[in-house]
Amino acid sequence: MIFAKKKKAQIRIKAPKEILLDYLKKIFFWMLGAAIVAVALEMFLLPNKIIDGGVIGISMMVSYITKWNLGLLIFCINIPFMLIALKSLGKKFIINTFVATAFLSVATNIAINIKPVTSDLLLATVFGGIFLGLGVGLILRNSASLDGTEMLSIVLSKRLKIVSVGELLMGMNLFIYTAAGFLLGWERAMYSILTYFVASKVIDTVLEGLDKAKSVRIVSEFWEEIGDSVMKELNTSVTYIKSKGGYSKQEKILTFCVVNKFDIPKLKEVVHDIDPKAFIVTEDVHEVEGVRIKKKGH
């Protein structure tokens, strides 16, 4: 029988030791991420007067004008944003962000004596953005943040309900980069925007993972034969889902599976050998978790 009675879910409660190990793992990645961000700031961006967006960018400009300590500025300017976002984002996330920001403040002060790697603006922009995105991505992936403007955007979006988080964040960063243009010159502002673009792409890669797979949905009356063949030829499990045709109103079985992107041509060949008229939909999958159930005998 394909669709068996649903089993009652059993929620596993983590032991205190496991919770502690999970938190220590997060702390390690916050420290690593903070160190990488500090390297990006001190080795690439600050020496070349290129800024980041958000609170880090604001702190960089204030530090440039006043000569105050950058690490301390990043920490202090982030605190009001944390307090504003406390109710909306929860105590746990804000505590994580507080700790991660403190690590960045310390790491930035340690990295002050590091010599700049290059004075080439394009190299500083690209590699500064790569290191910045990698560090921020590691911190975001482990349930913390370094940017108070992102937290403020989330809070305002929930309250206003007419503007998205992305639109609010874009507006704030537009203001920051306009200010950078007046303060540092428009050429530096443009390089700063390019840094932000590179960093955002690297952050996406860190959050979504490098090993992109494909999810595949197949609609065919020969669903059982296709499912068996896919499991045999591609050594991957399939899931059968009840569905109903919009025009025909007939009950159908949708075959679902997740495969490596390099296996897509082989999967299409397997499906079309059985049913040349099969309807196939593929989508990008950035990260897959869980146990893959293989067919018996493989």
Residue 123 has pLDDT above 50, yes or no: yes
Q: Residue 23, Cβ neighbours under 10 Å: how many?
A: 14
Give the lowest-confidence range in 1-15, 62-76, 97-111, 207-221: 1-15
Domain shared by 87 and 165, yes or no:
yes
Give the lowest-confidence range in 97-101, 129-133, 170-174: 170-174
Which own/partner contact pairs does 231-238 have at CB distance under 8 Å and 24+ positions apart? 231/294, 231/295, 231/298, 232/295, 232/298, 233/266, 233/270, 234/259, 234/263, 234/266, 234/267, 234/270, 235/294, 235/295, 235/298, 236/263, 236/292, 236/294, 237/292, 237/293, 237/294, 237/295
Domain shared by 271 and 141, yes or no:
no
Please state the pTM of the whole predicted model: 0.76
28 lies in some domain? yes
Instruction: Tell me the percentage of the chain whose pLDDT exceeds 70.
Output: 90
Residue 294 has a pLDDT of: 47
Q: What is the total count of domains within the chain?
A: 2
Domain shared by 123 and 193, yes or no:
yes
Question: Which residues partner with 194 through β-bridges?
Answer: none
Residue 12 has a pLDDT of: 62
| C-alpha–C-alpha distance, residues 87 and 84, integer Å | 7
Residue 295 has a pLDDT of: 45
CB 74 within 8 A of CB 105: yes
List, for residues 220-263, the tens digit of each pLDDT value.
Answer: 888 989 999 999 888 888 999 988 877 877 888 899 998 887 78
Decide which of 295 and 72 is more confident. 72
291 lies in some domain? no
Sort strands 251-260 and 213-219 into parallel, antiparallel or unpaired. Answer: antiparallel
Instruction: For residue 49, give its domain range.
Output: 16-208
Domain shared by 140 and 22, yes or no:
yes
